[in-house]
Structure 1
Amino acid sequence: MFIILVLLVSLHRVNGMRFDIKTGATKCITEDIQPISLSVGKYSIVNPDEDYPLPDSHRVTIRITSPFGNNCHYAERKDNGSFAFTAREDGDYMACFWVAKHNPPATLTVEFDWRSGLAAMDWPNVAKKGQLETMELDLKKLFDTAIIIHDEMYVLREREESMQTLIRSTSAKMATFSFFSLIVCLAVAAMQLWHLKTFFEKKKLI
């Protein structure tokens, strides 16, 4: 029961944040996403003075890559934007922001909201389009939640099996290494004894 509650909390996680980035610098953020999960996000540069538009130098370039380095989203010199993609790989996806150098240097504040899994679904829009009643919408949420929890557990089981295989392989290699190390130590000890015996015999001490 506790594991299910933890999974429910993680599935409803929303990554909304605000961070500063200097011109000429790069800022990267990672998100662990399961395969076949929807991922959506939006970003914008905060305008410190709403009476004036942002200068052309206040633009960011964003690239989102999968764990295997495939591009999921790329946008160049934007003051705001959004993205959406379906994850095809399991692992950490990385969103990197880069700001071109500017003289004099400046610091930009970026608002970034990244959602994945169940949190990425637009439930009010689904209810509006499908004309669902409140109970029907709740049931659909629970159904989708159950599916995602099932997929999460399947992925966790695969990871556990992979870790068990790695542990067994490592243990077997360590046992083999320990055996050969013991053989080498015994051989070295035997050679030392033989050398000492030969030395004492030459000196006619024994």
Structure 2
Amino acid sequence: MKLQKSSLCIILIIIGLLSTITQSIRFELESGHTKCIAEDIKSNSMTVGHYSIVNPNEGQPLPETHKITLRVTSAYGNSYHAAENVQSGQFAFQAVEAGDYMACFFAIDHQPPLKISIEFDWRTGVAAKDWSNIAKKGSVDAMEYELKKLADTITSIHEEMFYLREREREMQELNRATNSRMAWLSFLSLFICLSVAGMQIWHLKSFFEKKKLI
């Protein structure tokens, strides 16, 4: 019984830490300006995002001046989401390319300038799953729910480790290729310097011989 309680505590602590990582962020954007947020996403990972403008006057409709444009692009410039002059929205897609994905917010220009507060929640991998719906649909108890969530978290960490290992291998290959090129460049530079020095010596020797100085 004590072992089950300690295991449950560990599970809750881990999930609590994960939940703090995936909390939404709030930031301010001045009209006529752009702000971009980057997220490193693995290939074949699910990602979801929710964004909305925070109403400066609660209980009243949002002003027409409070509108934003959002574009989500991959590291290779491919567009995955685009919305213009909206006050809220969401996106969801499965990443085909690995790398840094950019979510760029743009506030329409306004005179005089104003600041817009934006609430943005961007989740990837295991954090992108709607666990509340899974718990309702599966009719599982609290322990099974936490264990299932933990199992998916472990799987995500395992995949992340393989992804980082692959990135490390690519970086090592790049370093080896760079070192090899630098070595060849050093030999080429040394050869050119020696050739120039030899030509200078030959030229000076010929000059002095013509002048009968040697």
In which range does the TM-score fall when normalised by the shorter chain?
0.7 to 0.9
- 1:181 positional shift: 1.3
Taking the aligned partners of 1:106 and 1:70, their CA distance within structure 2 comes to: 31
Question: Out of 72, 75, 81, which is 1:67 matched to?
Answer: 75
2:61 equivalent to 1:39: no
Residue in structure 1 matched with residue 166 of structure 2 by the alignment: 158
Question: 1:35 touches 1:88 (CA, 8 Å); kept in 2?
Answer: yes
TM-score normalised by structure 1 residue count? 0.87
Q: Percent identity?
A: 56
Say if 1:163 and 1:100 are closer, same or farther in 2 by CA, change over 3 A.
Answer: same
Counterpart residue identity of residue 118, structure 1: V
Residue in structure 2 matched with residue 76 of structure 1 by the alignment: 84
Alignment of 1:138-157 (within 5 A): 138-157=146-165
2:200 equivalent to 1:205: no
Taking the aligned partners of 2:19 and 2:196, their CA distance within structure 1 comes to: 59
- 1:10 positional shift: 7.7
Dislocated runs of 4+, deviation >6 Å? 9-12
2:98 equivalent to 1:90: yes
Structure 2 unaligned blocks of 5 or more: 1-16
2:132 equivalent to 1:135: no
TM-score normalised by structure 2 residue count? 0.84
Say if 1:11 and 1:196 are closer, same or farther in 2 by CA, change over 3 A.
Answer: farther
Taking the aligned partners of 1:168 and 1:138, their CA distance within structure 2 comes to: 45
Taking the aligned partners of 1:12 and 1:111, their CA distance within structure 2 comes to: 16
2:129 equivalent to 1:121: yes
Alignment of 1:102-117 (within 5 A): 102-117=110-125
Structure 1 unaligned blocks of 5 or more: 1-8
Could you say what the CA RMSD is over the residues aligned between the two structures, in angstroms?
2.0
Equivalent residues, number: 198
